[in-house]
Structure 1
Amino acid sequence: MSGYLFYNVIGVIILQINRLFEIIYILLNKKSITAKELAERFEVSVRTIYRDIDTLSSAGIPIYASQGKGGGISLLDDYVLNKSVLSEREQNEILYALQSLSITLTPETDKVLARLSSLFNRNTTNWIEVDFSPWGSNENGTCQFTMIKNAILSRQIIEFNYFGSSGEKSIRKVEPVKLVFKVNAWYLQAFCLTRNTYRTFKITRMSDLQMTPESFSERNFEGIKENEQAQTTQIDVCLNISAEGAYRVYDEFDEEDITKNNDGSYMVKASLPRGDWIYNYLFSYGPLLEVIEPKELRQEMKNRIKIMTNKY
Structure 2
Amino acid sequence: MQKSQRLIQMIMRINAKPYFTVRELADEFGLSTRTITRDLLELSELGVPVYSIQGRGGGFRLLQERLLPPISFTEGEALSLFFACQTMDYFSSLPFGEGADSALHKFYHYLPGDIKEQIDRLKNRIMFWNPYRLMSAEILQTLLKAIMIGSVVNIAYKSSSGVSERNIQPIGLYASSGYWYCPAYCFTKEDIRQFRADRILSATLNERIACREDINQKTLLDKPTKDDREQITLEIEMTSKGVWLLESNPRFNPFIQHNKDGSASLTMEIAVEDIHFYMDLIWQFGDEVKVVTPTAATAYIRQKIESMRLLYFQ
> TM-score w.r.t. structure 1 length?
0.51
Amino acid at match of 1:142: A
Indicate how the Cα distance of structure 1 residues 36 and 195 shifts in structure 2: closer, same or farther if over 3 A, else same: same
Indicate how the Cα distance of structure 1 residues 276 and 173 shifts in structure 2: closer, same or farther if over 3 A, else same: same
1:175 pairs with one of 163, 169, 188? 169
Which stretches in structure 2 are left out of the alignment for 5+ residues?
21-27, 36-71, 306-314
Paired residues of 1:162 and 1:207 also in contact (CA < 8 A): yes
The answer to whether structure 1 residue 164 and structure 2 residue 159 are counterparts is yes
The answer to whether structure 1 residue 211 and structure 2 residue 209 are counterparts is no
Amino acid at match of 1:43: K
Matches of 1:273 and 1:89 in 2, distance apart?
43
- Tell me, what secondary structure is at the counterpart of 1:178? coil
Residue by residue, what CA displacement relative to the aligned partner does 1:20-62 show, whole Å, maximum 9, x if unpaired? Answer: xxxx9x833x7x579889634753699xxxxxxxxxxxxxxxx
| Residue 200 of structure 1: aligned partner | 194
Paired residues of 1:198 and 1:223 also in contact (CA < 8 A): no
| Residue 235 of structure 2: aligned partner | 237
Shifted more, 97-106 versus 140-149: the winner is: 97-106
- Tell me, what secondary structure is at the counterpart of 1:204? helix
| Residue 8 of structure 1: aligned partner | none
Residue by residue, what CA displacement relative to the aligned partner does 1:121-174 show, whole Å, maximum 9, x if unpaired? Answer: 76595859999996152xx62332333233322322222222222x33211111
- Cα displacement (A) at 1:261: 11
Matches of 1:95 and 1:305 in 2, distance apart?
44
- Tell me, what secondary structure is at the counterpart of 1:158? strand
Paired residues of 1:133 and 1:142 also in contact (CA < 8 A): no
Matches of 1:97 and 1:112 in 2, distance apart?
10
Matches of 1:155 and 1:146 in 2, distance apart?
14
Paired residues of 2:152 and 2:170 also in contact (CA < 8 A): yes
Matches of 2:129 and 2:172 in 1, distance apart?
13
- Cα displacement (A) at 1:175: 0.8
| Residue 190 of structure 1: aligned partner | 184
Matches of 1:27 and 1:101 in 2, distance apart?
39
| Residue 154 of structure 1: aligned partner | 149
| Residue 17 of structure 1: aligned partner | none
Amino acid at match of 1:254: N
Which stretches in structure 1 are left out of the alignment for 5+ residues?
1-23, 47-64, 73-84
Matches of 2:275 and 2:169 in 1, distance apart?
30
Matches of 1:130 and 1:212 in 2, distance apart?
38
Paired residues of 2:97 and 2:141 also in contact (CA < 8 A): no
Indicate how the Cα distance of structure 1 residues 164 and 236 shifts in structure 2: closer, same or farther if over 3 A, else same: closer
Paired residues of 1:149 and 1:179 also in contact (CA < 8 A): yes
The answer to whether structure 1 residue 145 and structure 2 residue 145 are counterparts is no
2:269 pairs with one of 264, 268, 273? 273
- Tell me, what secondary structure is at the counterpart of 2:248? helix
Residue by residue, what CA displacement relative to the aligned partner does 1:276-305 show, whole Å, maximum 9, x if unpaired? Answer: 14532443234654224xxxx355545777
Matches of 1:199 and 1:256 in 2, distance apart?
23
How is 1:244-283 mapped onto 2 (pairs within 5 angstroms)? 250-252=248-250, 253-254=252-253, 257=256, 267-277=263-273, 279-283=275-279
Residue by residue, what CA displacement relative to the aligned partner does 1:200-229 show, whole Å, maximum 9, x if unpaired? Answer: 122332213323345635514389948546
**In the comparison of the two structures, how many residue pairs are matched?**
246
1:89 pairs with one of 70, 76, 88? 76
Paired residues of 2:150 and 2:211 also in contact (CA < 8 A): yes
Matches of 2:151 and 2:76 in 1, distance apart?
40
Amino acid at match of 2:153: I
Paired residues of 1:161 and 1:169 also in contact (CA < 8 A): yes
The answer to whether structure 1 residue 39 and structure 2 residue 37 are counterparts is no
Q: Which has the higher helix share?
A: 1
Matches of 1:268 and 1:184 in 2, distance apart?
28
- Cα displacement (A) at 1:251: 3.2
